Structure 1
């Protein structure tokens, strides 16, 4: 005769335990290989521990292969966005990110235009988050052109990336910190992060402000639907 079954933990608690175990294992037994591989595997491990699936949508037009890196321009949703970007574009470096997120070492560089331009010229792709907070509660804030000047200086293509979380609750307001983001996703069973890689923008003859506007419109078109362009106020 068997004894009573052990009580099962509620979903969020179970996901917290899985995520905590993934972080602990990543610290004690990091994946073998290069630092880049360890970062990508660690990011995938944390997201899997939360039950999050990353759904990468390829661009309708393949990104160009040039002598420079690509400047990836993404909207901001949560503090775990860099981990999502690492799994979607494994070769990218994340501008302005912390060196470690949820126990995962993140290839990061200061968000300084000169540093970004130098990396792009050397062939390293860099992900930036130029979105400014939306004062009116809009789902997407304005894109500041400051960091996009690096693409103009390096002659590097600008590749918009739209991040959209499904099944992760109505509002990610509490996801601004790493702990808040972990809690937010732990409460969302089966969350999916859509990563839309959008057609590249050429820096030839364009200003940083023009590239920022075009990248913002491209991301808005994914997040807000076909009428998104009409919803973005002119600058």
Structure 2
């Protein structure tokens, strides 16, 4: 059965029972003051389901409206509880109407003392909350899990952003290094070309000195040999860049 249809059915039955209770009062209780003990039942014309349940269970109507919109299963159980209480009150007032002598000398009962170690429940709302504590704990745990998962996603997102920034910086540095390497390669090729030209000149000078018989030419030949040796040694020690 649709819960809204079920609510309307219960509402209609309660209103019908209220009308029946009113007829009993008119027919059978004219001999004593009935309204002193009668609860303030409300009518269908100026009420809704939350108002009726609020009147019967003596609960705050705004609280019941919140329960009806957010916890329909709990609100369904409260409707059934209100229906049972209404029938009990109805039976009690029928007995007061039909057999008033049984209730005329009845002393009001003292409120029961709360058990030791437990605080007395002051209102129905508190009892309702305690009855649903397990449900509330599960809801709180679910909210905590969602918050924890969101925090984990945020940390992961922040970590990935830091990695991306670090990677971009590293790529930029690598690009600059590659550019410097290209410049060094060009410079190395130029130096190597200069060394080759110098070696060619040395060979020419040596050949000319060998062909000359002068003492001055022999001295120049020794210096050219030393210079050639130093140049070849420097060329062999150059850094090979790829």
Q: Would you call these one fold, judging by a TM-score over 0.5?
A: no
Bigger strand share: 1
Larger radius of gyration between Structure 1 and Structure 2: 2
TM-score by length of 1: 0.20
Higher RCO (CA-CA < 8 Å; seq separation 6+): 1
Bigger helix share: 2
